[in-house]
Structure 1
């Protein structure tokens, strides 16, 4: 692993890289048709979950100074509610977006300084024990990605796919 400039981000980077692997693995083999299925019209579909995951990557990149914009931001920003009247991107498109943004965000994680991470970043949560900084936002993004991977993993099983594998492709270095 490359050495980051910030000591504060050292714990985030391995989780970020493992989530890259998890994103790939949890979506492995999911058909486009199954990606749009919901459970009793009560859950989000896998496409929405994957889109929200990709949107988190764009969001983290933006906080770290990237100028990249999620092409599907209007569908997923801030966990926007699923709207079945809208056209959602394909899983293939979301995977493409994921692989475009993720290495750029990873590079920013390596370059960010402790001072930048300590900068205030208003999330609007108004929770007294959470200091709204760029570092804490990065941590919240990691938490959200964990949650979404778990949700997609559960959907895999509901739709009779095998459980997610934890294989690591060492050629993917972001």
Structure 2
């Protein structure tokens, strides 16, 4: 085996630096593409009392939109943490809308909301209009985090990592 010559080791160092630069560039491009996320759809929620709440009326707040169902075990399991998250950040500008899926009987949704004392808006989506507007949501739970300008900054399918979600909320609420 031959000992590396100065030109061989220089070439190796150059290739390593080139690879590192490529990784950094890809990371920056990925971060920029995430920060220029798409706008949330222009929808209006109807809460359990029939009140209409346009998503646009929540501009200036960070909003979580959670698609869920009373028959979804993961949804039921995560709901206490969703309540805790809402209560922790609501005073700082977080709003929350839990959207029941169209197949969820309204009386089940109402019963769940009342017995669990859900403190945030619960909306019905009987015609799947909200689910379709958010990219044809089929899986529950699916949660969208929307920034103060109305841009979707994160989509969670399944139960989110709540520690990471809270860090993201801290950043979004500070911005």
Which of the two has greater strand per residue? 2
Per the normalisation by structure 2, the TM-score is 0.29
Per the normalisation by structure 1, the TM-score is 0.29
Larger Rg: 2
Which of the two has greater helix per residue? 1
Greater RCO, CA 8 A, separation 6+: 1
